[in-house]
Each structure stands twice: as C-alpha cells, then as structure tokens.
Amino acid sequence: MAAPPPDPVPVAYQGGGSAAVPVWLNKGDNAWQMISATLVGLQSMPGLVILYGSIVKKKWAVNSAFMALYAFAAVVVCWVTWAYKMAFGHKLAPFWGKAGHALNQEYLVGPAMLPATAHYGKDGLLETAMATPFYPMASMVWFQGVFAAITLILLAGSVLGRMNFRAWMMFVPLWLTCSYTVGAFSLWGGGFLFQWGVMDYSGGYVIHLSSGIAGFTTAYWVGPRCTKDRERFPPNNVLLMLAGAGLLWLGWAGFNGGDPYTANTDSSIAVLNTNVCAATSLLMWTLLDVIFFKKPSVIGAVQGMITGLVCITPAAGLVQGWAAIVMGVFSGSVPWFTMMVVHKRWTLLQKIDDTLGVFHTHAVAGYMGGILTGIFAEPTLCSLFLPVPNSRGGIYGGSGGVQIGKQLVGGAFIIGWNLVVTSVICILVGLVVPLRMPEEELMIGDDAVHGEEAYALWGDGEKYDSTKHGSEDTLHNNMSFTGATQVI
C-alpha cells in the first residue's frame, strides 16, 4: 500500500495532537490568557510609568517613571528564576511554595497546572481537583508575572520623590521573594487561606492590600520628602496623567477578566462588573469633591477610578451587577473619607509621608473590597470560580456569615505579614545603603539622581539656573491645586 502524501500544513498549525497543538490545548483560552497578560503588562508599562512620571512634581518625573520601569524588569527576571514556583508551585509550608526556576522547555510547553490547589474536605477526600487550565505553563507563568510586577510598582507610589534608587534596586527582589510570594501562595496557589475558602478573585488582598500596607510601612522607614516637596507637590502634566490612568483602567479587563484562567462566562461578568464599579466610584468621588471643595478635581476623579478598580478586584466575578454599583458607592466614599478627613486628624498618617496616598487607594479600598466580597458573593457565581463547595456571601444566608469572618482573617494575615516582613527588609537594606536620598539630591531631583530631566523648558542641555529661569515654584505660582489629592 502506498504511503499517504505528506501533510502540506506546517507542524506548528496542525491540530489533533501535534507537538505545537496538543490535544489538551484550547486556543481560545490560550489567546485570552496571553491578551490578559499583555493588558496587565500595559497597566505597568507604559500605564503607571506615564501616570507616575506625570502626577509628581516636575523635578521627580524621571525618577518616578524609572522606579516603575526598573521594578517591572527586575520582577520579570526574578519571577522566572525562582519566585514563580514559590507562589504557585508545590507546597513547602502552608503559606509558601518550593522555590525553583521556570525556564526549561519541557516545563513551559507542558500543560499549565497549579499543583497545590487540589481541595480536600474535612474527611480527607478530594472535593475539587487541582487547577489545570487548557494552555501551556508558559502562559500561566507570564500572566502571574505581570501581576507580581504591578504590585511592586503600586508599592513604589508611597515612596516617590525621596527613596534612594540603589535601595529600591535591592528592595524589589527581596520584597517579591519574602512577601508577595507568601500572599500569592496562601490565597491563590493552594495555601492555607485558599484551602479555607478566603475569597480573592483577582488580587484585592494579594496585590492591593499588600502593596498598600507595604508601601505605607516602607514610607515610614524611608522617611519623608523634603519639606518643600511636602508643602507643594503639583503634578507636572495632568493630561499625560490621564493617559496613564486610562491605560490602567482599560488594562483592568485583563487584570480581572483573565483570572478565571479561561475565556468563560465568569470572565465576561468580571470585566463588566469591573467597569461598572470603577465608573460609579469615580462619579461618587467627584460628587464629594464638588460638595465639600466646590471644585471637581481631575486628580480626585483618577483616585476615585483607582479605588473602584481596587475594591471590585476581589469580587469581580463573584457578585451581581447591582452589588458592583453598591461597592462603587463605598469605594468612592470610604477612601475619600479616610484621605480627606481621617488623614488630617490622625497624627500617624500625617507623620508618615505616603506620596500618592497608596494606603488609602489600595490598602483601605482593597480590604474593604474583600470584606464586601464576603457580604455580596453570589452562590452560583462562586460555584463557577471557587473550589470550596457551598461558598456564598453573608446576604445569601447559610454559611455566608462565616465567609465574612474568613475575609476579615485573610486580610489581617496579609496586613500582619507585610508590616513585619517589609520592616525587616527595610532594616536590612538600610544596613547596606541609605534608604533615603541625601538632602542635596532631594533639593535638585532628577538631574542630581540620574543626570537627566523630563522636560527641556529652558534650552537643550542648558543647566538649570534659578537666577535666569526662576524657581520651579515660580513656574507654578499662578496654578491653583486645591483638589482632594493635594492633601497627600
């Protein structure tokens, strides 16, 4: 019998069990996961790079953007070298996975799996098998890597305008290793909070609560900006800030839409809820600005957008649309209150210089979102996502009341761990290099730290001379920045 003619279709495009398209691969899921990872990556690069470089004083534009750029690059390398498996590998401890690299071909082209996520009941019997999405491990490693990267970048928002860049270079890999991987494994990778049934759909605790608490803690150890910067810190480019904020908002579709690890109905609900909550929160924050400050603040609107995105993150695919609106009302008002009222009256908050108010926008909004998840999580939607049977929010009766307690405990663990571990890291780094820039660099800014400036306002390469060009404050002496954010 004659041999069959050769298949004219290249191996890379053949289906039905070829090496490039194995039988377990779902091309739709893989495409969505890669798109989601790219959207989350765009939130950082260029989203937060642009936002940070624009929302700070002109003299810190380069340094702030560079802190975000460096963190993104450093996390990616550390992630594939040892950190990914600490967050999503085999169990080493109830809160940590075994370290190991994610670089070899056999591992990355094989099917994605999170080995510690198998859920067992009290009787020891398997209730839910481990997570095994229908795409390669490489997609999972990259998707989770961009989540890790944005967490460090969000943390940086608390220490902009004074942290020694060399100290930041050491801080990033240490915090990723000792703090982020613990939260990720505990809540997502199969650790004790995951097994207990604490709900964190896409990072309200793992990313936002941890970055907010760690950022606030780091700000304490680094110390404040120079007095002149604390007194007046106007954004250098509001329109570019809005461009960065827009990338952050729309990139959240990958942030929350990609976390079911599949392109399913729950992913669609998560994306819709994300946008509904963010829009509601922005409107609520703006309304409060108009009522109490008599002016609608653009910067305040961006803060409201962020708190809405943060608040819905732990609940995105677990709550109904009406609950997303309710959460938006809370996220646009509670962090506004803590930032505008509590911050002014609490001495501790005033002493610690949290540059962009990350404590309010991420820690407060993230913890609140986790608690509201325990209240509003809808049982049917929970069954589409959570491995723990009969999960439900408090308003749905049954075991729902217990869920609120779980959410409180889960958030408390993240807060406690970050307070302690971040402090230890700062102390250790401080023994090697100063955490804070020297005073002369704080006075000059980018030109002293990097030898570069963001804008050539007085000639190409001409050295800044206040006697010729006027001080930076003079350039803004006719600008009024009385919006909500200016208290930070």
Closest CA to 144 of 98, 189, 175, 211: 189
Q: Give the separation between CA 439 and CA 365, rounded to whole angstroms.
A: 34
User: Could you tell me the residue range of the domain that residue 77 belongs to?
Assistant: 39-100+136-440
Give the three-class secondary structure for 16: coil
DSSP 326-372: HHHHHHHHHHHHIIIIIHHH-HHHHHS--TT-HIIIIIIHHHHHHHH
Give the model's pLDDT for residue 397: 85
pLDDT tens-digit profile of 35-48?
A: 999 999 999 999 99
Judge whether 75 and 149 are in contact, CB under 8 Å.
Answer: yes
Q: d(Cα 312, Cα 276) in Å, to the nearest integer?
A: 9
pLDDT tens for each residue of 54-74: 999 999 999 999 999 999 999
Mean pLDDT of all residues in 90-110? 96
29 in any annotated domain: no
Please report whether residue 349 resides in a domain. Answer: yes
Whether residue 100 contacts residue 196, with contact meaning beta carbons closer than 8 Å, is answered with no
How many domains does one find in the chain?
1
Residue 156 included in any domain: yes
User: 151: closest CA among 107, 210, 99?
Assistant: 210
Q: Is residue 114 domain-resident?
A: no
Query: Is residue 459 assigned to a domain?
Result: no
Averaged pLDDT for residues 157-164: 97
Taking the C-alpha atoms of residue 160 and residue 363, their distance in angstroms, rounded to an integer, is 17
pLDDT score, position 91? 96
Exposure on the CB side of residue 41, measured as CA atoms within 13 A: 14
**Is 81 among the domain residues?**
yes
- Which tokens sit at 391? 């999960």
Q: What is the pLDDT of residue 19?
A: 75
| pLDDT of 478 over the 80 cut | no
Q: Which two tokens stand for residue 218?
A: 């780091």
Residue 16 Ramachandran class (φ > 0 left, ψ -120 to 50 alpha, else beta): left
DSSP 243-312: HHHHHHHHHHHHHHHTTTSSSSHHHHHHHHHHHHHHHHHHHHHHHHHHHHHSS--HHHHHHHHHHHHHHH
| pLDDT the model gives residue 2 | 61
SS3 state at 119: strand
Residue 463's pLDDT is 52
Question: Does 16 map to a domain?
Answer: no
> Which of the two residues, 478 and 252, has the higher pLDDT score?
252
Check which CATH number belongs to the domain holding 381 and give it. Answer: 1.10.3430.10
The answer as to whether 23 is a domain residue is no
